[in-house]
Amino acid sequence: MGDDPAMTGDKGVELRRDAEGLALVGDGMVLRADFARLLPRLRPDRLGRELLVRAARVRGVPDPRAVDATAGLGEDSLLLAAGGFAVTMFEQDPAIAALLRDALERAAHDPRLSGVVGRMELVEGDSVCGLRALGFSPDVVFLDPMFPERTKSAAVKKKFQLLHHLERPCDNEEELLGAALAAGPRKVVIKRPPKGPWLAGARPSHSVAGKAVRYDVIVPPRNGGGRSG
């Protein structure tokens, strides 16, 4: 497959395939999903210190399942899968989904990653609809609705500059959070800027925060005194 502008329309970027895989190209930048570069973070001595893994952890569940409702390039899903979750990923933009699918296919042939990506499933489509049509109740729903754009473009990572050509920060926070809660998870984990507001104004049960990111955790009440997360 060569250039595929049809996947991105007239948004100033296009998909190109080369010897290293599929890439999004535009504005003099090249963006490629590459799980191999995350291998140092997957080491057992580091994985347990990952803030997302700590925030998503559920106790007493032998085979936990997670839904990443805003998969993007799949890096957070990879961390969740390495942490033991079977992860269903939703990505609605066809170009971003193509980048993620290409990364999954390449990782499946890498013995260092094949076991982890074997627990990751990509669904191309709208996660609000997908969450309401799940055939199971996930243990965790993860939301990364993209941070609002900052006034200084230099403060935005280069990869997000390209992704913003395709997807904008979430403008339906209430609908997204409502669908996540309606799926009946043990917890909803939401990625936010360290000093950013709560998603849809919903107060979290607790937060796990670092210098660059904060994970707000909402633990819905479980009927009948169900197992806690």
HEC string for 72-110: CCCHHHHHHHHCCCEEEEEECCHHHHHHHHHHHHHHHCC
Residue 82: its pLDDT value, please? 98
pLDDT at 224: 46
Which pLDDT tens digit goes with each residue over 120-178? 999 999 999 999 999 999 999 999 986 554 434 443 455 666 666 666 555 688 999 99
Q: What per-residue confidence (pLDDT) applies to 229?
A: 45
pLDDT range class, residue 12, cuts 50, 70, 90: confident
Interior CA angle at 225 toward 224 and 229, to 5°? 130
Q: What is the arithmetic mean of pLDDT over 55-74?
A: 95
pLDDT value of position 6: 41
Binding site as annotated, residues for S-adenosyl-L-methionine: 144
Weakest mean pLDDT among 118-127, 197-206, 217-226: 217-226
Nearest to 191 by CA among 179, 181, 178, 177: 177
- Residue 218 reports pLDDT greater than 60: yes
* Beta partners for residue 45, in sequence order: none
For position 22, what pLDDT does the model report? 95
Is residue 5 pLDDT above 90, yes or no?
no
Higher model confidence: residue 210 or residue 171? 210
Cβ distance 90 to 71 under 8 Å?
yes
- Give yes or no for a contact between 140 and 102, defined as CB atoms under 8 angstroms apart: no
Q: So what's the pLDDT on residue 29?
A: 86
Q: Check whether 228 has a pLDDT greater than 50.
A: no
User: Which residues are annotated as part of the binding site?
Assistant: 144
Residue 119 is predicted with a pLDDT of 98
Q: Which pLDDT value is given to residue 26? A: 86
Q: What percent of the chain has pLDDT over 70?
A: 81
148, 191 contact by CB (below 8 A)? no
pLDDT recorded at residue 28: 83
Measured between alpha carbons, how far is 76 from 91 in angstroms, rounded to an integer? Answer: 13
pLDDT beyond 70 at 16: yes
pTM: 0.87
For 115, the 3-state DSSP assignment is helix
